[in-house]
Structure 1
Amino acid sequence: MFEPVIAPSGTLLGLLQRGRGDGTLHALAAPRPEALAALNQCVLHDPRQDWQVENRSLYYARLYLDLDGPLGEIEAHLFGADDLFDEEDHRTGLALSVLGHLASFGRDD
């Protein structure tokens, strides 16, 4: 079973990993590089205990839009060599879902 590592709840990363609404507020108030690093950490290393119950892709996609976040790290993750060793959906599922939401919002990069 996949067990994510969750940061303390008082940190920006911890708030975003938990999908809390105040995580967005903290991310928008934080220095942009710090907010993007935490957001990328969440999307590239799915923090959800159960992806069937916890839906965070829309939450993360909206934050990418608000931060005007570049998608290069997601691209590198999706085309990384790790797929040769780890074929589980949890490795790429959240990233693909976030990209799907971003495409529906009109992002074409």
Structure 2
Amino acid sequence: MTITLMQGFAEISYSKIKRGLRISITGYGASAIAERSYAQQYSEGKVKRIKYSKTIISHRADSAAGSSGSAIISRSSNKIIGIHTRSGCGDLYRANRGTLIYRNTNLIEAIKACTDGDL
């Protein structure tokens, strides 16, 4: 199954990921430069930390307020591995955060419900 993105399609990955994985985010966050605010923004970075018990991924792809909900895509597989949920590098790990799909049964059930279970 694929999820439609503005520029095409991306498959969903249910596989385990590793720290250091290169990722990308395309979102519509705020910017200090008015012309760039809420316009499509693309950024690449690496996975900084993974908390499998809480299905949280910390990453270094640059993002801004308003980018929440953007797909976190593995650059090596071009598959969606998570959903971006928090911008700002002010936390202990100096990273942005997202919700990991791997082993996240509630999220996987929601994805199946949205896609009529056609995974």
Give me the TM-score of the superposition, normalised by structure 1: 0.25
In our comparison, the structure showing a higher alpha carbon Rg is: 2
More strand by share: 2
Q: Which has the higher contact order (CA 8 A, sep 6+)?
A: 1
- Greater helix percent: which structure? 1
